[in-house]
Amino acid sequence: MDFSRLEAYLNDQVAQGLLPGYVALLARDGEVVYQGVGGYLDPGKGLPMREDALFRLYSMTKPWVSSLALSFVEEGALSLLDPVERYLPEFSRLHVGREAGEEVVPEPLRAPVTVYDLLRHTAGFTYGVFFRSPVKRLYLEAGVDRFDLTREEFLERLSALPLRFQPGEAFEYGMATDVLGHLLEALAGKSLADLLAERVFGPLGMRDSGFQAQDPARLAQPFPKDPETGRSIRLLPLEMPPPRYAGGMGGVGTAWDYLRFLEALRTGRGLLHPRLARLMTQDHLGPLAQAGMHRGLEYGPGPGYGFGLGVAVRLGEAGLAPGSPGDWYWWGFAGTFFFVDPAFGLTALLLAQAPSLLSVLEPERALHSRLGARLGLAFRTLVYAAL
């Protein structure tokens, strides 16, 4: 195995001022075969990156919460068919907003939103950021994407907004995992932070994972300004407890902690029964994945991929980078990425704090950014080349 090209690429991204710093980890059959650490923990202060750096994980929090939900399913305390309103009564008033030009036409639900819909992002919830639409505009106006809302404020505002699609009608990436986290809080009578600590982090020895940076001196920092757009970068403040535990974007952790989590899912040991772990990491979209591809990149997890219960799942040989049918991946807005190839016994992570602001400011250009999706594809390709 020769990782020289991978390391040269990552260090070149640092030298060009595109990445402030990074930590990369690769494991084959549970054995770490490569660790790369480069660049700066804090580029503003010139502090070098460290292997135990803490990273804002953003959407890589979603697989944590999805596996947590399946732990309740495994115990029989929760069903995938349970309606959300059973646990969060405010969601009994949900409706769909059909987009007709710039208008939003109300439409009653044909079926309730279920836990299954939340897990596979077919509930109809969206994000106000990432692409543009009349319903997304309502999300932006209501401010539900903000991080400073309390749990009660978030649920009250979101439950009053229209869904973009009927439950089960389409893959629509959005607030579903945030709702799932608050549903689990209502089910168990505990905070999402406590539930994850008890059921995921504690059993797996993930001592640095949670919703607050226990050692802020180890928190990786971005550039003050995005190198592509020149816009100021502001990421989630994690030095203090958050106003609510956002299951879709609020987590923080280290590369080593997240490797433990991914290995538990890959092997089916230490977290979920192997069959439940397999259920989480296999495709659940079926024909909805193909329909999403026809509608455009906004409506799917990437060419060649469907979606499981919290992660994107490769459907066949086709894709934009090497891989195997059944491999699975996800990423976070602030520059974090992982993929797992069970057929190869491979688990790979790349953590940085370098968000591509084009994904918010100009989503249509984001795939052509030198950061974001291109970084993840290059990382994946060079990993396979090294092996």
Active-site annotation, residues: 59
Dihedral of CA atoms 267, 269, 274, 280 in degrees, nearest 10, equals -70
Alpha carbon 241 to chain centroid, angstroms: 20
Cα–Cα dist 259/348, whole Å? 8
What number of other Cβ atoms are within 10 A of residue 89's Cβ?
Answer: 12
Q: Give the helix ranges, DSSP H, for the chain.
A: 4-15, 61-75, 115-120, 134-142, 151-159, 176-188, 192-196, 202-204, 255-267, 274-280, 287-295, 358-361, 363-366, 373-386
Query: Would you call 213 helix, strand, or coil by DSSP?
Result: coil
For the chain, give the number of residues.
387
The one-letter amino acid code at 97 reads G
d(CA 84, CA 40): 43
* CA gap 380, 367 in Å, rounded: 16
Question: Residue 180 corresponds to which tokens in the numbers above?
Answer: 């799932």
Q: 354-360, long-range: CB within 8 Å, 24+ apart, which pairs?
A: 354/18, 354/19, 354/20, 354/222, 354/223, 355/222, 355/226, 355/233, 355/235, 356/226, 356/228, 357/226, 357/228, 357/229, 357/231, 357/233, 358/228, 358/229, 359/130, 359/333, 360/129, 360/130
Residue type present at position 2 = D
For 75, other C-beta atoms within 10 Å of its C-beta total: 8
